[in-house]
Structure 1
Amino acid sequence: MVHIGYTMMTEQAGPRALVEHVVGAERAGFDFSVTSDHYFPWLESQGHAPYAWSVLGAAAQATSRIPLMTYVTCPTTRYHPAVVAQKAATMQLLSQGRFRLGLGSGENLNEHVVGGGRPAAPVRQEMLEEAVEIIRALFAGGYVNHHGAHFDVESAKLWDLPDEPPPIGIAVSGKRSCELAGRLADLVIAIEPKRELVDAFDRHGGAGKPRVGQLAVCYDPDRETAIARAHEQFRWSVGPWPVNAELPGPAAFAGATRFVRPEDVARSVPCGDDVDAFVEAVRSYAEAGFTEVALVQIGGDHQQPFLDWSEKTLLPALRQL
């Protein structure tokens, strides 16, 4: 059975609302939750970008069952890996073992704010690998000194460590990231239902480990309303990931997507209230080998109707997968 998750999309809701949403997701019966970690929204129409780690801490206290996870945090530019390790260990304690640390090489949209330029993709992968090494060393306890190609750590130690460190997931999009995730990660993360990503992860040591995907959906009883909202807030998602990773801000995404039509978005995002369309979209992940799929309901003000519909209609249908 594929586990179905709920996404706290920080780009489309404020911090208090996000916590209310994940409480509702737990009540509705979602199996897990994930949280984006952004400094900017993709488009101004989304309108939000609170600090994800504060939201996660509040969510850990407001919920009791639903697992929590970053989807994903970049531990190389905006955050130093030693600080990410401290945050993740604290979250594992606050959540009483319900936290997973999802990591990735980051997008220019969020990482540019601290300056220093944008490293080339191979360098970003090198930085991510070194960051994971540092985080795991700190999770192991004791003092850590590290002087690598990209990071320095001086006598760092985590004073509050959980009995079991949070599992580490790595986001993948191509051959190099799959090889990295297979070697270093406890689970793999992707945003496309591509079998080749799962197979590459398996070849490099990922066989038998969880595979987590993410799917944007737009529930509304009126399909045309859903399509219009998806186009307004999520048209950026139809662009190729190598381009999306490099654009610096909402204005750039608005320009890059000015010719994207509502029907273009509707082809990749299930819209409306046809449960079969939502099930088929999730099925594409299951058939590609994913064991978990986190749903993103588009529209920060449209979460409760989606949660109600999910509890009564969508989740029972998805349990059949």
Structure 2
Amino acid sequence: MATRFGYTLMTEQAGPKELVRYAVGAEDAGFDFEVSSDHYFPWLSAQGHAPYAWTVLGAVAHATERVDLMTYVTCPTIRYHPAIIAQKAATLQILADGRFTLGLGSGENLNEHVVGEGWPSVADRQDMLAEAIEIIRKLHTGELVDFRGEFFQVDAARIWDLPDQPVPIGVAVAGNAGIETFGPLADHLIAVEPDADFIKAWNAHSSTPTVDGQRSRAIGQIPISWDRNRDKAIERAHDQFRWFAGGWDVNADLRTTAGFAAATQFVTPDDVAGNIPCGPDLDQIVEAVTPFWEAGFTDIALVQIGGDTQEEFLRDAAPELLEKLRAASS
């Protein structure tokens, strides 16, 4: 299974019209797929944006022809009811002509707190996600669904517009307990750490049929800060992406952009440059991405940091970078 390389539509760092334009540019540059974050807040105020991802993705589906599309990721438990996610995903799959994968996760307080339903424990969030997937699967059969679960209720619901191609589901997982729970429920793995043992464990629990020796796609993501000026690239990455240093255990629980700013106030530009490839050196980016395909990731999405850098990156750097990535991973 050849490694596929993707482009991230960061809703936190660009407005809706710009995101659609970048999506078209990424397809033209040669990316295989595109993933979209789904946020109500940016991570940091310096990023400055948070348009509604599903509206953007509908426009992207219409404006593009070839690239696969994916939410990376949507939380179907608090801000959205799973029955609504089922309807949105089915509609988007129709608009995308079968190119859409529904990426799901247990969410972050940053986005989910806005509806005033509180922030459950990790264990409850995982159980809610499993129940939400069950509801989405039932509704995607096209049958009338009544459901009474521990967390959700569905009354006489049916999805009337179903795509010809079923909507694949990917789930963001970070630990062994998540593998055991979601391996049998999801089609694909979403993860951010290049851990080969983790992917092997997922495949051992996955119910997805084996294709070319691989049970599921393993979809990862890595930030980069390409710029002709390395110092400028480091400065921008520190300004807009230092939230990444907290790790997901911390990031999931912080409530506001002010919280992320406080939690990362001691992260230095050197810290960021040590974890994110910064500057014009494409070989450095390839080196940073390499551990993902070596660990068994089949799909790797790049996050180019900075809303005002996208067009130059897509035009001047992405085509050559993709050539280097494909040559190195083959």
- TM-score exceeds 0.5: yes
Q: 1:77-114 CA distances to partner (integer Å, 9 max, x unpaired)?
A: 00000000000000000011110000000000000001
**2: distance between equivalents of 1:286 and 1:311?**
18
Give the number of equivalent residue pairs. 321
Look up the SS of the partner of 1:319 in the other structure.
helix
What TM-score do you get using the length of structure 1 for normalisation? 0.98
Query: 1:199: Cα distance to partner?
Result: 2.3
Give unpaired runs (5+ residues) of structure 2: 208-213
Mapped to 2, the partners of 1:272 and 1:309 lie a distance apart of: 13
Q: Displacement, 1:311? A: 3.9
Q: What corresponds to 1:104 in structure 2?
A: 105
4+ runs deviating over 4 angstroms: none
Distance in 1 (CA, whole Å) between partners of 2:298 and 2:71 is 17
Q: Is the Cα contact below 8 Å between 1:104 and 1:128 reproduced in 2?
A: yes
Amino acid at match of 2:188: L
Question: Does residue 314 in structure 1 map to residue 314 in structure 2?
Answer: no
- State whether residues 168 and 185 of structure 1, in contact with CA within 8 Å, keep that contact through their aligned partners in structure 2: yes
Alignment of 1:282 onto 2:289: yes
Partner of 1:7: 8
Q: Which runs of 5+ in 1 are unaligned?
A: none
Identity %: 58
Contact preservation (8 Å) 2:189, 2:219: yes
DSSP-derived class of the 1:280 partner:
helix
CA apart distance, 1:167? 0.4
How much has 1:2 moved relative to structure 2? 1.3
Partner residue of 1:225 out of 228, 232, 236: 232
Amino acid at match of 2:255: P
Q: Letter of the 1:272 partner, please give it.
A: G
Say if 1:190 and 1:212, in contact at 8 Å, map to a contact too. yes
Give the Cα separation in 2 of the matches to 1:110 and 1:196: 31
Aligned residue for 1:186?
Answer: 187
- Alpha carbons 1:28, 1:310 under 8 Å: kept: no
Name the counterpart of 1:71.
Answer: 72
Give the conservation status (yes or no) of the 8 Å contact 1:172–1:197: no
Task: Tell me the amino acid that sits aligned with residue 263 of structure 2.
Answer: A
Using the size of structure 2 for normalisation, the TM-score is 0.95
Q: Does 1:201 align with 2:191?
A: no
Which among 293, 302, 312 is matched to residue 295 of structure 1? 302
What is the correspondence of 1:87-102 to structure 2 with a 5 Å cutoff?
Answer: 87-102=88-103
Say yes or no: does 1:235 pair with 2:242. yes
How far apart are residue 238 of structure 1 and its match? 1.1
State the Cα distance separating 1:200 from its structure 2 match.
2.3
CA distance in 1, matches of 2:56, 2:134: 26
Letter aligned with residue 41 of structure 2? F
List per-residue Cα deviations over 1:262-294 (Å, max 9, x = no partner).
011111111101111111111110111100100
Provide the rounded CA distance (Å) in 2 between the counterparts of 1:18 and 1:165.
Answer: 26
Q: In the alignment, what sits opposite 2:210?
A: none
Shift of 1:239: 1.1
Match of 1:28 in 2: 29
The answer to whether the Cα contact below 8 Å between 2:187 and 2:206 also exists between their aligned partners in 1 is no
Give, in whole Å, the separation in 2 of the partners of 1:49 and 1:209: 31
Give me the whole-angstrom Cα distance separating, in 2, the residues matched to 1:38 and 1:253: 15
The alignment's C-alpha RMSD in Å is 1.0
Closer/same/farther in 2, CA of residues 198 and 255 from structure 1, 3 Å limit: same
1:272 to 273, 279, 304: 279
Q: Is the 8 A contact 2:145 2:155 kept in 1?
A: yes
